[in-house]
Structure 1
Amino acid sequence: MDAQAFCGALEHRGYGFFSGVPCSYLKGPFALLEQHPTYLPAPNEGIALSLAAGAELGGTRAAVLIQNSGLGNLLDPLTSLLLAYDVPVLIVASLRGWPRPEDDEPHHAAMGAGTLGTLEAIGVAHGVLDGDPAGLEALLDRAERERERRRPFVILVPKGTIGTCAVPAGGEREEPELDRQEAVGVIAARLTDELTFSTTGMISRELFAAADRPENFYMQGSMGHAIGLGLGAAVTLPHRKVVVIDGDGAALMHLGGSALVGERGPANLTHIVLDNGSYDSTGGQRAARLAWAELALALGYRTARTCATAAELAAHLDKIAALPGPHMVGVPIRRGSSWTPPRITSAHTNSEVRARFQQAATPTSPLDGPEEPAQ
């Protein structure tokens, strides 16, 4: 289905407010919504739904676009806000990991299998889009009937159902000097025995390409939770240095994790945020840029600095290596990249990544893995 036709059908039905968190399956609609005057990109799916509910309460029909992996972030406001207060919102969710989990990345398997059942369990009406314009109209008719009952409706979008289109440049602005590959390369060159957690998507893939090592935990799903992993490890392994390599969109998604870092103050934690003002892994959709150093100091990090060049980044990482943290390093980088790094799953399963990391982190502890079958 043409992306313009999809978005046009929603506007024809009176939808005038849009929010969401990008997915590559919905790249085309998001590219068009970037140009819509009442589209607000949200840091996480729950906030997107509350934004839409606010628009509905103000008399404007609202739609939210998400990836089904973010359905968990959506469940609280879906059940305790929309269903509890009779607020109808249209939700458009991609169907990653469905119908064949093996055709997608492993971290989409559980939600791919569980999306339909989750919606059925909480009593939210839904339907799967087949790419036929008539099918879309039929689903929107069902959404109208649910709206009359003051209920939300979910349109589920499998891979390849809606076409893509170019993401707008977003106006003239000065691009940072560093790109993602260069920034990760500088960081990787300084890693020795640090336990390193890298965030969702391209940043993990860049680290894998630059310096694959047992001490790297490539967090390919669970967007926004790399800082939680790092803080948990830093607090329980105070004798080990811990590095979290984050992205701006991921760090924003669960900013409360950074607030907890500042409150807890682990001296062995360094938090690096690569900021390109976009969701690069899903197509380059825009995200808010923040002054990460200033924010970190306000949250209670011991040191914080913005490093705009490779030389600055290298010198600062060398300097703070011997200083107590927690440290925040904000790194402005350019959108996009000149290459596509390899997927971690080309060499390691998720279980292998976990097992070797656990062995590196606690080499004297037994691995938590499946027992060998009896002979």
Structure 2
Amino acid sequence: MVNPLLSLAHPGVYGIPMLVLVGWRGEPGVRDEPQHKIMGKLQAGIIQAMDLACTELPTENSEALEALEAAAAQSMESKTPHLILVRKDTFSRYTLEMAAEYDKTLPMTRENAIRVVLKAGGDQATYVGTTGFLSRELFEIRANEYGGDHSQDFLCVGNMGHAGSIAEGLATHMPSKSPVVCMDGDGALLMHMGSMATNKAENLVHVLINNGMHESVGGQPTAAAGLNLCGIARDVGYYPTAIRVRTEEELASAVADAVAQPHSGPVFIEVLVKPGVRADLGRPTTTPQGNKVR
């Protein structure tokens, strides 16, 4: 957010009026996840350094409307962005209606797919899990079904879209070129899609678990449903394998083949799954630092 505001919309450049909603995760004194704490601690200072007007959004509806109207007027008059700071839990929960075109008959959930990948990939592989529910499910599966052994896993927290690049780096420097399996999400992949073009390690197995939505951050649909992601993967160098699977049997076969045989380039496996997450899903009980040194 900082770069486009300062290099494009700031009054010192184009001077474009706009209201910008800024969430305040990790606010000091408010309980939150570790990946939000540093940003939350620094956020007020960053906003001040940007030299842009900022209004905290009130929680009462009429006061919030007045604050937004005043901020919009200030933004238009001064031709500058106006930041609207939103504290955690300001908004009530909202259940998004699923897109009508989404295939709810798919046999697997994301959690099912993770189990299949771990079993088919086996102990020889290293695993990178994308941020959000996927890494939480991966951690819990290891805790409950693998005796709490997380030594083969790197969990991405708070760095949405970078799992593929992290996995590529690990694969490039992995002794004896043992396989590295990246379990990615469709929303995360689309966020930094350009990194696919630089993924060249032949021991990288990129498993895209596609449920068609940003499930970890509100359930908004992604653009993935209208894209030929396997075709894109082939065009940017995932070779010779870029396939789409739907069933546990297809996924197990594809992963087992990918980790067992040497390839001339990275492998891409798109797994179509239905959305859904367990209500009792826990969170990792280790710290990010603890995860790093395993």
Distance 1:139 1:114, change over 3 A: farther
Aligned-partner Cα distance in 1 for 2:156–2:228: 25
**Counterpart of 2:207 in structure 1: which amino acid?**
I
Unaligned runs of 5+ in 2: 143-148
2:88 is paired with a residue of what secondary structure? Answer: coil
Q: Could you tell me which of 123, 132, 141 is aligned with 1:192?
A: 123
Name the residue aligned to 1:202.
133
Are positions 1:182 and 2:112 aligned together? yes
Which structure carries more relative contact order (alpha carbon 8 Å, separation 6+)?
2
Quick check: 1:188–1:210 contact (8 Å CA) kept in 2? no
1:331 is paired with a residue of what secondary structure? Answer: strand
* CA deviation profile, 1:218-258 (whole Å, cap 9, x unmatched): 11111001111111112222523211110000011011111
TM-score by length of 2: 0.89
Name the residue aligned to 2:210.
275
Name the residue aligned to 1:16.
none
Are positions 1:333 and 2:246 aligned together? no
Q: Could you tell me which of 70, 73, 84 is aligned with 1:141?
A: 70
Are positions 1:323 and 2:262 aligned together? yes
Name the residue aligned to 1:233.
170
* CA deviation profile, 1:135-184 (whole Å, cap 9, x unmatched): 32124303311221110011111122111222112224422221111101
Q: Could you tell me which of 59, 64, 86 is aligned with 2:15?
A: 86
2:268 is paired with a residue of what secondary structure? Answer: strand
* CA deviation profile, 1:85-124 (whole Å, cap 9, x unmatched): 11112111211101325x1000000111111211111112
Aligned-partner Cα distance in 2 for 1:170–1:118: 37
Give aligned pairs, total: 277
Q: Could you tell me which of 274, 287, 294 is aligned with 1:349?
A: 287
1:1-375 pair list within 5 angstroms: 74-83=1-10, 84-100=13-29, 103-136=31-64, 137-175=66-104, 176-190=106-120, 191-211=122-142, 212-237=149-174, 239=176, 240-261=178-199, 265-289=200-224, 290-302=227-239, 303-321=241-259, 322-324=261-263, 325-344=265-284, 347-356=285-294
Name the residue aligned to 1:3.
none
Quick check: 1:292–1:328 contact (8 Å CA) kept in 2? no
Name the residue aligned to 2:146.
none
Root-mean-square deviation (CA, aligned residues, Å) is 1.6
Quick check: 2:19–2:71 contact (8 Å CA) kept in 1? no
Aligned-partner Cα distance in 2 for 1:280–1:249: 9
Using the TM superposition, name which of 174-183 and 311-320 deviates more.
174-183
Quick check: 2:129–2:182 contact (8 Å CA) kept in 1? yes
1:189 is paired with a residue of what secondary structure? Answer: helix
**Counterpart of 1:218 in structure 2: which amino acid?**
L
* CA deviation profile, 1:255-285 (whole Å, cap 9, x unmatched): 1111111xxx211111111111101112311
1:155 is paired with a residue of what secondary structure? Answer: strand
Unaligned runs of 5+ in 1: 1-73, 357-375
Please identify runs of 4+ aligned residues in structure 1 that moved more than 4 A: none
Aligned-partner Cα distance in 1 for 2:220–2:133: 14
